[in-house]
Structure 1
């Protein structure tokens, strides 16, 4: 079946502004730079060696890839930060406690490398670790196991002296002092890193890896959500989960597609944390590299751009496929990724075959993407009235081809297996925007209004994109499905009920979506809570309830459409 969804995508008017409140605005980026100017107001772009070379890195390879960024035109399109990952240093510090560059790999030193990059109009990034050792067992910045002095301030000053612009701070081998939890130890460490960079005298973007050390599956655990809540106080971007699958030169044809989908999977629900100066990072772009087809390369670029993800390549830039280079260099997709509003797109409809994402843009346009998860070419048809464009026309631009059409019926076409279509819609003569689509919770399941447990029941079910999972975020703090309102019922249950007249004062139908993902029923102050996952596939669906709000409970975190 073709994908179907309902959402309203006109200009940012009253309802759209309400939706921005219901799905909370990102917190201002912290920390600020030493010049008191916010950093990374759009997602960082550039290159890093890790997913292609790992520790097999040296001056010649970095220089060659930097030169290739320039010669291919990618640098001029924004891919301007060249970062050297782990293994650039020797296995011990010098007598002063400074890090020592491995001159067998970098004979002219990394300070020279920074000068070379800056002369090319590029920025210089470097890797370190918040623990006592890096992941490959080189000296880290953190305190040694058992306690002692850290090197955060010393290393930050050393990086500043080398004119570093960007620091990737990993989280291996981090000591947890007695009396502190792992989560508390990581918070202390990354706050110390952030302070050291602020005090260094040079503006350096911080890529923090803290959340990746707490990930437990796609939906994550309580500590993962807790770390995601504070990591934006330390860095401008952060890795939340697994590394992208690295290139294997012994088996270059090995598919890496499942890794792309896996990293997209954990990142797609976290839009509430993203905004100018704070970015969710699902790891490197490997489009155009071995292990992805042309369609899969296009999909990664499209999905990362819809998620406002950093565009950081990890490849041999000189050997990118023509199709991969075209996808990575597509200025329309780059502009989408770099949109100054900084809102991450949301999955508004999904099933086993198709996934539809919508992203609001700074000028009032909306981007719409359709991912074909299947291996076969499929017909797609997204009627305008099912994306909320009722009785109006949209100017639609296909961001791959650049072709523009006037659409008054539906977005249509054929979509190859593993490919993703992307349009930019400029609605004309439309009513107010009402974000519409799935409400997704624990286990990437959907709030479902099917009457499986009684009239008006709301249960959790696998996501299908069907009308009984199509919620409307109204301009009155209400959540509607099929014309009825999500309401507090008896015995702590929630239900679909007639919407009370406006300004009636009837409690139980007003909802607030907080930054931690909770959906709070405003009158009672209780949180919408997903039932436990069924032990067997044929077990009856359990109803959603209102329960006291806990601290970063995974069954109380929700992703809403935008």
Structure 2
């Protein structure tokens, strides 16, 4: 397993493409019908939304891929095994639709499934249950003949042959999909849904982490968790805010898998659509931009609120999302009220976002040294208002209820940024040096944003807090201890962060391991320890600051 030095160097996967031409070097942008229309989809609806992307100016700002989701085909293939377009819904057919979109300067996306049936029980590309020939190559050629640019490949009803695990079956299926697309004669971006079929809560299980480790070999982006809550026409005012926070919740820890050509996808943008306030819509756009997530709308574009349209079309926020470095931002501080994220950018700037989870507007104070810019002055650009100001020592502002403020900081007279913030592990809890169980002890506790959870990542492979180093102690425990000079580095103070999330103590080759969940809420916190490194162990996966 590849180990990565503890430095600001990007930790994402190498770009992977369906041909020799790298694809999706920035997060894809566009529109998909599912979260607003579900199966109530037809040619007229797709065309109307495509036209609206152009007329609103969103297409010119990058929202250029129009994808038709499930339910576009008939319930059976033809005599030659080809997929059959439902001509009652799409009277001109899919080749015509592709031509129409291309003439508008847009790209054409389509939905299929790696299993035997789609999620809505239309013909899938995969082998039938019980075994038999698949249709991966045939469907890829058919999509290429329609000049499709983007394929969303779902993962319902996938057959698991005897003797294989579910994880192995999905890996084989999605590798076959990728090979078929490469052989089709046309470059098509692949959105792979494999990880979503293994998610077990926010932190996930072992198989989920395994799938996240290989899915970038197959596609350029992937759905790794729950769907965003769909629009309910019968109850349009139903809030969808908790769904936005839930999808943000599972995606925020996975930055190590992201990079040019590989993107974590927490599902569709619904800003400006029913179910979110103006502030909540801004928050979704801001958080997705900080996470380098795909900007794919799923709404009636012609009915977007003015506030939602302004947020989605904010060119400063789009530039943040599309930053060519492709580094996903990380949570550097969190508690029940605030969450602070930092994202390094290609030109040396650092983006900072502050999410206000509470129901009231609040003042914020973010010391620059707590976001990796010690002894620093910076020019701060408010990405919402466009206002610029000089910031010395502390970024201040006011963030509304459920809103997210975002600033782009250009350091002046500073040294190189130092990755600073939380080390987050199993259960989305924080490595804490509060010394509640002994001098130098490090435990796993609820994230508070307090100084005893603020770590810095040294270029010398150290993990530091308040001038002390995370060190291998006695009996397999870890502790905070005096940092030895680099030239006299003691064994046990050098760490490597692997792509699977493991933090490896280099002298012993063992992994930092979270304790088991406490039996009762008031049980004393157990200390972190070193243990033999396992295969994608959930209690050995860690998210680090950037």
2:275 alignment counterpart: 291
Counterpart mapping for 1:86-165 below 5 A: 86-165=70-149
Q: Can you give the 5+ residue segments of structure 1 that lack an aligned partner in the other structure?
A: 1-15
2:6 and 2:497 in contact (8 A); partners too: no
How far off its partner does 1:407 sit?
A: 1.1
The counterpart of 1:58, out of the listed 42, 61, 64, is: 42
Alignment TM-score, normalising by the size of structure 1: 0.96
Gap change, CA 1:18 and 1:533, over 3 Å in 2:
closer
2:265 is the counterpart of 1:277? no
2:1 is the counterpart of 1:19? no
Distance 1:133 1:384 in 2: 52
Other structure's SS at 1:19 match: coil
The counterpart of 2:426, out of the listed 433, 438, 442, is: 442
The counterpart of 1:33, out of the listed 18, 25, 30, is: 18
2:386 is the counterpart of 1:397? no
Distance 2:374 2:172 in 1: 51
Give CA-to-partner distance per residue, 1:436-492, whole Å, 9 cap, x none.
Answer: 000000000000001111000000000000000000101110000111100000000
2:452 alignment counterpart: 468
Distance 2:128 2:387 in 1: 58
Counterpart mapping for 1:374-393 below 5 A: 374-393=358-377
Alignment TM-score, normalising by the size of structure 2: 0.98
**Which segment drifts farther, 154-163 or 375-384?**
375-384
How far off its partner does 1:18 sit?
A: 5.5
2:6 and 2:496 in contact (8 A); partners too: no
How far off its partner does 1:535 sit?
A: 1.7
Aligned length: 543
Distance 1:197 1:390 in 2: 48
Other structure's SS at 1:288 match: coil
Other structure's SS at 2:486 match: coil
Q: Can you give the 5+ residue segments of structure 2 that lack an aligned partner in the other structure?
A: none
How far off its partner does 1:86 sit?
A: 0.1
Give CA-to-partner distance per residue, 1:369-426, whole Å, 9 cap, x none.
Answer: 0000011111111122333433331000000001000111322122111000000000
1:216 alignment counterpart: 200
Distance 2:277 2:361 in 1: 14
Distance 2:323 2:260 in 1: 10
Other structure's SS at 1:173 match: coil
Gap change, CA 1:143 and 1:508, over 3 Å in 2:
same
Distance 2:375 2:421 in 1: 20
1:323 alignment counterpart: 307
Distance 1:223 1:20 in 2: 28
Other structure's SS at 1:164 match: coil
The counterpart of 2:470, out of the listed 486, 493, 500, is: 486
The counterpart of 1:180, out of the listed 161, 164, 172, is: 164
Counterpart mapping for 1:519-538 below 5 A: 519-538=503-522
Structure 1 stretches (4+) deviating beyond 4 angstroms?
none
2:151 alignment counterpart: 167
Distance 1:542 1:421 in 2: 36
Other structure's SS at 2:78 match: coil
Distance 1:26 1:359 in 2: 13
Gap change, CA 1:538 and 1:124, over 3 Å in 2:
same
The counterpart of 1:192, out of the listed 172, 176, 191, is: 176
How far off its partner does 1:333 sit?
A: 0.2
Distance 1:414 1:174 in 2: 49
Provide the aligned C-alpha RMSD in A: 1.1
2:338 alignment counterpart: 354
Distance 2:363 2:528 in 1: 35
